[in-house]
């Protein structure tokens, strides 16, 4: 079967559709890389476990794998026989449980010679999520930002600097520029010692 382009709309659940992305990916992508793409684009620190569920089957990472479920790394998107309108469900951080709805919204042929163009973000909104913060708390920050017209929420960066976090500050061009490199780093973090 020829390689196809799958277009997914991925929404961070329970935040009133304020944080979402539309991605185009190759049908040769495996579920693990799909998860790494979500972790990268939704601005996570990628330091928690995650799983992806489809049709009552839970696919897990190889870290702390106990042989009870299929591995994300072993399953290509094309092998799932997805149909337009089908949903995958991703859970990141089993303590706080960040939920992502992954809906397949289009399938198209991959134009010859364009394989390196994928994955890419083609639309989106909302900066991302905040690790270790449940969706209802993030939604409170979003609502306060919308009400006040500005954000007063301060985060500390990985370099120890404080900055205002505003969910409206999402830059798709910046996201696409960094996406492939960040996916590789996240993949190394989850699979590097396996």
User: In tens digits, what is the pLDDT along the chain, a chain of 194 residues?
Assistant: 689 999 999 999 999 999 999 999 999 999 999 999 999 999 999 999 999 999 999 999 887 667 778 999 999 999 999 999 999 999 999 999 999 999 999 999 999 999 899 999 999 999 999 999 999 999 999 999 999 999 999 998 878 899 999 999 999 999 999 999 999 999 999 998 65
Query: b/e map of 125-145 (b: 16 or more CB within 10 Å)?
Result: ebbbbbbeebbeebbebbeeb
Residue 194: the pLDDT is 59
Query: CA-CA distances (angstroms) from residue 66 to 47, 131, 148, 164?
Result: 19, 25, 48, 41
| Cis status of the peptide bond prior to 174, with omega within 30 of 0 | no
Query: In 3D, which of 80, 39, 57 has the Cα closest to residue 187?
Result: 39
Check: CATH 3.10.290.30 for 4-127+170-191? yes
Q: What is the pLDDT of residue 65?
A: 66
At a CB cut-off of 8 Å and minimum separation 6, what does 167 contact? 18, 19, 126, 127, 138, 141, 142, 145, 151
CB 51 within 8 A of CB 64: no
Q: What is the pLDDT of residue 63?
A: 76
Task: Give the model's pLDDT for residue 1.
Answer: 64
Tokens of 46: 């990628």
HEC secondary structure over 85-113: CCEEEEEECCCCCEEEEEEEEEEEECCCC
Per-residue confidence (pLDDT) for residue 158, from 0 to 100: 77
Where along the chain do its domains lie? 4-127+170-191
State how beta strands 87-92 and 98-109 pair. antiparallel
Residue 160 has a pLDDT of 87
Give the pLDDT of residue 165: 94
CB 179 within 8 A of CB 21: no
């Amino acid at each position: 079967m020829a390689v196809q382009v799958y277009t997914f709309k991925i929404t961070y659940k329970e935040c009133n559709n304020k944080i979402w992305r539309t991605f185009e990916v190759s049908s040769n992508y495996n579920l693990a890389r799909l998860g790494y793409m979500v972790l990268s684009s939704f601005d996570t620190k990628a330091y928690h476990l995650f799983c992806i569920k489809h049709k009552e089957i839970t696919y897990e990472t190889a870290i702390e794998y106990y042989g009870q479920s299929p591995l994300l790394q072993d399953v290509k998107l094309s092998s799932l026989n997805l149909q337009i309108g089908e949903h995958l469900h991703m859970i990141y951080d089993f303590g706080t449980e960040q939920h992502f709805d992954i809906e397949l919204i289009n399938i198209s042929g991959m134009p010859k010679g364009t394989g390196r163009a994928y994955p890419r973000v083609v639309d989106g909104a909302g900066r991302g999520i905040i690790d270790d913060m449940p969706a209802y708390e993030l939604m409170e920050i979003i609502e306060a930002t919308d009400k006040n017209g500005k954000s007063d929420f301060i985060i500390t960066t990985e370099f120890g600097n404080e900055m205002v976090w505003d969910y409206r500050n999402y830059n798709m061009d910046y996201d696409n520029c960094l996406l492939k490199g960040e996916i590789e780093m996240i993949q190394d973090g989850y699979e590097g010692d396996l």
